[in-house]
Amino acid sequence: MVKVKICGITNFEDALASCEYGADAIGFIFHRKSQRFVEPETAREIVKAIPPFVTTVGVFVDEDASKINEIVKTVGLQVVQLHGNESPEFCENIQSKIVKTFRIKGARVIGIGTGEQGVNKEMKRYNVSAYLLDTYKEGVEGGTGVTFNWGIARDATKAGKIVLAGGLTAENVKQAIKIVMPYAVDVSSGVEEIPGKKDLKKVMEFIEMAKGIQ
């Protein structure tokens, strides 16, 4: 069964409800330019309150490796999601499991390496636990609310575990999973009232739809 990550968590209510509804992971964004930014101290208190078998993920964008490792330890995170232009060599300095994000425009990865690379070719440069594929949108680091060609993600599953993101909602997640067959799906803006505050009915419906596929 596909795993579900609810990202952009900023408060106790959204975190606990996501866990209650069956989320496998919750994500905290530590990029200050994000509308869903959360202070490490707040995230730490939320992590203490959630069930023990829900994975906690920290999302970082071009942050210093030492700062990432410090926040991982302070908050009690289990996984680091790198959402910027981090190199394969940079990943070796992170003291945690890593999910590396690749932003897709057309059939290319944008913003990593030389700027534009084929998806599978670029992914294979990284020795990480999983690869997250998201939609490229100028000036937006995540939570775009826009989908990309899921056929690209389906092909990318040959390279390793794929976490599918980008414009997913309760209305389209079932189709996305059937096409891509990803390891996990990741949603943020698709289950929000406003950036940083979840619509709990949408969270519940999203998880039900994602996990209802046999």
Q: Choose the catalytic residue: 14, 19, 24, 134.
A: 134
Q: Which of 7, 14, 19, 24 is catalytic?
A: 7
Active site residue 134: yes
Return the DSSP state at 138. Answer: T
Q: Using alpha carbons only, what angle is made at residue 200 by residues 196 and 201, rounded to the nearest 5 degrees? A: 135
Please report the sign of the dihedral spanned by the C-alpha atoms of residue 118, residue 155, residue 133, residue 65.
Answer: negative
Alpha-helical segments (H) within the chain = 12-20, 40-49, 65-75, 88-91, 119-123, 150-156, 173-180, 200-211
Length of the chain: 214
CA–CA gap between residue 88 and residue 75 (Å, rounded): 24
Are the CB atoms for 190 and 4 separated by under 8 Å?
A: no
User: How far does Cα 166 stand from its chain's mean position?
Assistant: 9
What's the one-letter identity of residue 190?
A: G
**64 catalytically annotated:** no
14 and 198 Cβ atoms separated by less than 8 Å: yes
DSSP bridge partners of 197 = 194
**Residues with active-site annotation:** 7, 134
